[in-house]
Amino acid sequence: MLVTKKQDDCLCCDAVILPFAGSTALSVELPKNLAEAVKAAVDQEKFSGECGSLYTMNLLGENGILSLVLIGLGDENASNREAYLAFCKALKYCKDQHCGKTVVYLDNAAARLENNPALVAKLCECPWLVSYDFTAYKSNPAAPAMEQVEFVTQLPDFQAQLDEAAVVAQCTLHSRDLVNHPSRFMTPAQLGVEAQKLAQEYGLDCKVFDKPQIEALGMDTFLAVGRGAVDEPRLVVLRYMGASADQETIGLVGKGIMFDSGGYSLKSKMATMHDDMGGAAAVIGAITALARRKVPVNVVAVVAACKNMISGDAYVPGDILRSMSGKTIEMLNADAEGRLTLADAITYAIREEKVDRVIDIATLTGAAKGAVGGRTAPILSNDDAFCGVMEQASKVSCEKVWRLNADKELRPVLNSAVADIKNSSPGNNYGGGTIVAGLFIQEFVEGKPWIHVDMAPVNWLGEDSSYCCKGATGYGVSLLYQTVKLLAK
């Protein structure tokens, strides 16, 4: 995918996208046939200009048939995400029509964009996000439906915004790839290889710990989860030190369950459970983007990667595990495994990497979708200011979050009669499964400022959308990147 700022007046393309800022006013100069077609569509009330409204028509262009796409981005009352989704819809139409080259007259929506650089940057990501298809296992993959997008614009600092968007989008697509690969290929060891490749290419420091090294660290809870699998676990650590040594270090901890069968608490459906490492893919993508953009901040990404499988040696409900922190855990649900691996990964980040604050991100609970719906990730935090930064980053990244109360009244359901804490509370009638899971993780943050992101509702799409084909969404890369970038200011 080639995305550029248009340098000439030639209109040799397959499609033209004309965005509108909450009205039907035409504010850029167009070739006569395009301007007349727009006027006719408006006069005949075929296009309203409202946010998300879409109208298409075919005209005769220099390359033959030209698709003209009118899309409403809304006025200042529409959110950035609404405008982003609308623009994706226009690009998706061009993709579906196999428009190899598309030109976007961005300045027609200048009234919406000139004072909103965050939205401009997000719209610049869209061509990459929309054009993506996962074809690694196709014997004869189809040629890319979209090959080039050119933006016609005089908006200030546009090239700089486009350059940043390219990095964030490309890292998001790499995250999608990591998740979309089946677990037969994307093993814990292979994830370590992928991290090392990125480190070598973009100047990150990378350490991949094998099973004996993990044992030496005392990460017995993490090891217990992976004990039933043939593929041995790996602890993947990426470091980017872009600020001085006296500045704080931010820890990004991603859940890395490369396949989740549920263990002896067996799942009934698991065809897509190779997606349970979406958190791992998100933190790898985010730290790579930060390094590529040379953001002045210190960041460590930690992934405890393993498979949760059944075997004669697998852990079973009723086992008591000893975590790296020293706390003992009564394991009552083998399918509540992500919080167990995160507990040890967070302890490692705090004690070994000396991080000053922690963000963990995980496909953690099925309850999350019921709590906030299928387009938002619930978050929990012990620090209002820190959480506020992520909420601001959410608006910039257009990746939605919804803060839940870390309700201490629910904490007693995790009390254990035989250990320090239990990982699940089968049969309790208090509900709040997403909150309870977050409360478990909070027990291991040692008082550090902390945010937990439960990305389970948004990590995977069961069908195509305007911004992503069926499969992994890459959620979290942009959100984490923008959060850390804001912290660096």
Q: Which CATH number fits domain 181-488: 3.30.470.20, 3.40.630.10, 3.30.420.40, 3.40.50.10440?
A: 3.40.630.10
Nearest to 386 by CA among 360, 414, 364, 358: 358
CB-facing half-sphere around the CA of 316: CA atoms within 13 A: 3
Residue 102 to residues 30, 54, 119, 234, 416: CA-CA distances in angstroms? 15, 16, 20, 43, 60
Exposed / middle / buried, residue 140 (Cβ in 10 Å: 0-12, 13-18, 19+):
exposed
Residue 51 near residue 22, CB atoms below 8 Å: yes
Enumerate the domain spans of the chain. Answer: 2-156, 181-488
Classify the phi-psi angles of 407: left when phi > 0, otherwise alpha if psi is within -120 to 50, otherwise beta. Answer: beta
- Three-class SS state of 34: helix
Answer yes or no: CATH 3.30.70.100 is held by domain 2-156: no
Give the pLDDT of the chain (489 residues) as one tens digit per residue.
Answer: 788 887 665 678 999 999 999 899 899 999 888 999 999 999 999 999 999 999 999 997 666 789 999 999 999 999 999 999 999 999 999 999 999 999 999 999 999 999 999 999 999 999 999 999 999 999 999 888 999 999 999 999 999 999 999 999 999 999 999 999 999 999 999 999 999 999 999 999 999 999 999 999 999 999 999 999 999 999 999 999 999 999 999 999 999 999 999 999 999 999 999 999 999 999 999 999 999 999 999 999 999 999 999 999 999 999 999 999 999 999 999 999 999 999 999 999 999 999 999 999 999 999 999 999 999 999 999 999 999 999 999 999 999 999 999 999 999 999 999 999 999 998 888 899 999 999 999 999 999 999 999 999 999 999 999 999 999 999 999 999 999 999 997
- Three-class SS state of 257: strand
Nearest to 95 by CA among 56, 122, 121: 56
- Active-site positions read 267, 339
